[in-house]
Homo-oligomer: A and B are copies of this chain.
Amino acid sequence: MIQRPKFYELLTEAWKESRSFLCVGIDPSIEMFPTNHELRHGGFLDFCTSIVDAVSEYVCALKMNHAHFASSGHEPELESLIDYIHETNPGIPVILDAKRGDVDSTAAKYAKESFERYSADAVTVNPYLGWDTLEPFIKYERRGVVVLCKTSNPGSAWLQDHPKESPMYLRIAERVQQQANPNLMLVVGATHENSLSQVRQIAPDVTFLVPGVGAQGGNAENVMKLGKRSDGLGLIINCSRSVIAQDRETFDYFGKVASAAKSLSESLSIRVN
């Protein structure tokens, strides 16, 4: 297992360095690769490292989407990609977005997968099975654990907002706040602004990973206004497709990726109080 700084220390430094809340999500699909890619480059891994090179100066974190690697058997490329990021950009925290959730010994295997096999600095987890199922992840004291709270999809209310008087997602937010552990975070979607502001009230000290800005319709300005902590920090705002999926026919695909990241990074810039 690679020795890395504690997740929260890495993130604090990366906020300072990038002066932005932007996290770029790397969700590769062969369908999005530039049409001249296979000729010029080596395929899947090369597409991903080119994205990293294009965006690294603009981000406070990078998020890898496990499903996009697993659906096509590209786990070895995911390993190599994370190694590449640690090597070329050791100051950027890497979040593995895998939404793991399972009981005791199986949860321990998933924690091992995230932190030892992939050397991710943090992983997303699903709390539905119970707090005991998150503990094997939290045991890795240096690593971050991002707990699903309120997600950005249209159907998230069904279970997450139930019951109205004491919704599930606030119950989760409360428990994470109580842990007083800066490596323990919450996923809170950008598309439900009212929920975002309620979670901030209940969990004033917790860092939020926020999906849903851009393609899914979340508003960056409002997310920052409602989601920031009182110290002006506390957000990791993820954008995936709006950065990494450019016109496939374009002459300078990765240049376009860099411009998109630069412009988003500016609109998500940190103004410390």
Given A27-B106, A162-B168, A163-B166, are A67 and B113 neighbors across the interface (CB < 8 Å)? Answer: yes
- Tell me the complex Cα distance, A112–B112, Å: 24
Is A171 at the interface (CB under 8 A from chain B)?
yes
Distance in angstroms from A73 CB to nearest chain B CB is 6
Residue of B with least CB distance to A156: B130
Looking at A117, A132, A148, A158, the one whose CB has the most chain B CB atoms below 10 A away is A158
Instruction: Decide if A113 touches B71 in the complex (CB within 8 Å).
Output: yes
Q: Assess whether A242 is interfacial by the CB under 8 Å rule.
A: no
Whether a CB of chain B sits under 8 angstroms from the CB of A35 is: no
- Which B residues lie within 8 Å of A172 (CB)? 159
Contacts of A106 in B (CB 8 A): 27, 65, 67-68
List, in ascending order, chain B residues with CB within 8 A of A68's CB: 106, 109
In the bound complex, residues from chain B placing their C-beta under 8 Å from that of A73 are: 75-76, 79, 117
| Contact B159 A132, beta carbon cutoff 8 Å | no
Residues of A54-75 at the interface with B, using a CB-CB cut-off of 8 Å, are 65, 67-68, 70-73, 75
- Determine whether the beta carbon of A75 is less than 8 Å from that of B75: yes
Give chain B residues whose Cβ lies under 8 Å from the Cβ of A105.
Answer: 27
CB–CB A151/B129 < 8 A: yes
> In the assembly, what is the distance between CA of A213 and CA of B261, in Å?
51
Interface centre among A112, A129, A133, A152 (most CB of B within 10 A): A129
Chain A interface size, as a band, is 35 or more
A70 near B129 (CB under 8 angstroms)? no
User: In the bound complex, how far is the Cα of B126 from the Cα of A132, in angstroms?
Assistant: 16
Of B67, B112, B168, which is within 8 A of A168 by CB? B168
CB distance from A84 to the nearest CB of B (A): 17
* In-complex Cβ contact of A109 among B71, B107, B126, B168 (8 A): B71
Q: In whole Å, how far is A113's beta carbon from the nearest beta carbon of chain B?
A: 4
Given contacts A65-B106, A99-B102, A151-B103, contact A163 B160 (CB under 8 A): no
Q: Which residues of B contact A154 (CB under 8 A)?
A: 130, 132
CB <8 Å contact, A160 and B128 = yes
User: A151 CA to B129 CA in the complex, in Å?
Assistant: 7
* Choice from B72, B127, B163 contacting A117 with Cβ under 8 Å: B72
A33 → chain B closest CB, angstroms: 15
The answer to whether A171 touches B159 (Cβ under 8 A) is: yes
Q: Pick the residue among B70, B104, B126, B163 that contacts A163 (CB under 8 A).
A: B163
Q: Which 6 A-B pairs have the closest CB atoms?
A: A130-B155, A132-B155, A67-B109, A128-B128, A71-B109, A71-B113
